[in-house]
Amino acid sequence: MPSTTLRIPTPDGQADAFAAFPGDGERHPGVLLYTDAFGLRPELESKARELAGHGYYVLVPHLYYRHGPAPVIALPEHIGEEVRPAIITRLMPLLEEHTTERILRDADAYLGFLAAQPEVAAGPAAVLGYCIGGALALRTAAAFHDRVAAVAGFHPGFLVTDAPDSPHRLLSDLTAEVHLGLSENDMRPEAVDELNKALAATGVGYSTEIYPGSVHGYTMSDTDAFNPVALQRHWDRLLPLLHRTLAAG
C-alpha cells in the first residue's frame, strides 16, 4: 500500500502528515483522519494503511505541529497504564491549545489539501477521529458541511462539555451522516442523551453506540485499552458508513 509523508501549509505554519492510498493509479475518495491524544505514530499509520486498502486516500495530520514534527514527545512502543498518566500530563497543555478557531483553521487547510491531491476523487470527504480526534472530526463536519459527507468518532472525548462552544452545541449546520462508537466509560448516560438530542435536531442520519466490554482507547493496539472485538466492531461500522456516503472506494 503506497504511503508518504507530507507537509500541509496552514495559516499557522506547516503541518507534517502521513498519507496512505491505493496504488492503482486511480482517484479515490478522501478521508481525513484525526489521531488520538498520543498523536501521529505507527499505530495510526497502520490504521490509515488498512483503510486505504478498502479504496480510500487517507490523510493523517500531526495535531501538535506548532511544536515541531511528530513525535513532540518520545513515546514507548507500548503505552501501558503505568506510563499513560505521565504522558497525558505532558500532552494536556498542547491539547488545551486547540481552541475552536485553531481547529477550524487547521481543518480548512487539511480538507483543501486533501481535495487537491491527484489521487483524490472529486466530491466530499469523510472525517474520522479517535479520542480527542472524535471531537475534532465532529467540529470539522459541522463547520464545513458542504465538504464532508460522513463523520465517525471512536472512543471520543469532549463531545459534551459545559463550554459555550462544546461540539454538541455547534451542530446546526451538520449534514454528514454520523457514527459514534463509545466505550463503556467514555460518557455519562445524561451526556449521551444530550448528545443524541443535539444530533436528532439536525435531521441527519446518526448512530451512537456503546461497544460492549470496551474502555476508552479500545481501538489502539499499542495501549492496554486495546480490545480486538471492539476494534472489529469499529471496522464493521466505519466501512459501510464510508461506502454509503462517498463515491465507490
Question: Per residue in 34-83, pLDDT tens?
Answer: 999 999 999 999 999 999 999 999 999 999 999 999 999 999 999 999 99
Provide the pLDDT for residue 108. Answer: 98
SS3 192: helix
pTM value surpassing 0.85? yes
184-210 average pLDDT score: 97
On the question of pLDDT at 114 being above 80, the answer is: yes
The rounded distance, in Å, linking the Cα atoms of 170 and 179 is: 17
188-204 average pLDDT score: 98
**Cell triple for 49:** 494503511
Which among 178, 230, 231 has a CA at the least distance from the CA of 206? 178
Binned at pLDDT 50, 70 and 90, residue 16 comes out as very high
Which among 222, 233, 243, 241 has a CA at the least distance from the CA of 36? 222
23-28 average pLDDT score: 95
CB-based contacts of 95: which residues, under 8 Å, 6+ apart?
37, 132
Q: How far is CA 84 from CA 57, 129, 168, 216, in A?
A: 31, 20, 28, 12
Provide the pLDDT for residue 76. Answer: 97
What ranges do the domains of the chain cover? Answer: 3-245
Q: How many CB atoms lie within 10 A of CB 2?
A: 13
Provide the pLDDT for residue 1. Answer: 79
Can you list the positions of beta strands (E) in the chain? 3-10, 13-20, 30-34, 57-61, 125-130, 148-154, 177-182, 206-210
Which H/E stretch holds residue 64? none
pLDDT for 137-163, tens place per residue?
Answer: 999 999 999 999 999 999 999 999 999
Q: How many CB atoms lie within 10 A of CB 202?
A: 17
189-193 average pLDDT score: 97
Binned at pLDDT 50, 70 and 90, residue 95 comes out as very high
* 247 vs 233, higher pLDDT: 233
Q: How many CB atoms lie within 10 A of CB 118?
A: 7
CATH superfamily, with its number, for domain 3-245 = Alpha/Beta hydrolase fold, catalytic domain (3.40.50.1820)
The rounded distance, in Å, linking the Cα atoms of 3 and 10 is: 21
On the question of pLDDT at 249 being above 60, the answer is: no
Average confidence score pLDDT of the chain: 97
Provide the pLDDT for residue 159. Answer: 98
CB-based contacts of 20: which residues, under 8 Å, 6+ apart?
1, 2, 3, 45, 48, 49, 51, 52, 57, 58
**Cell triple for 184:** 463503556
SS3 156: coil
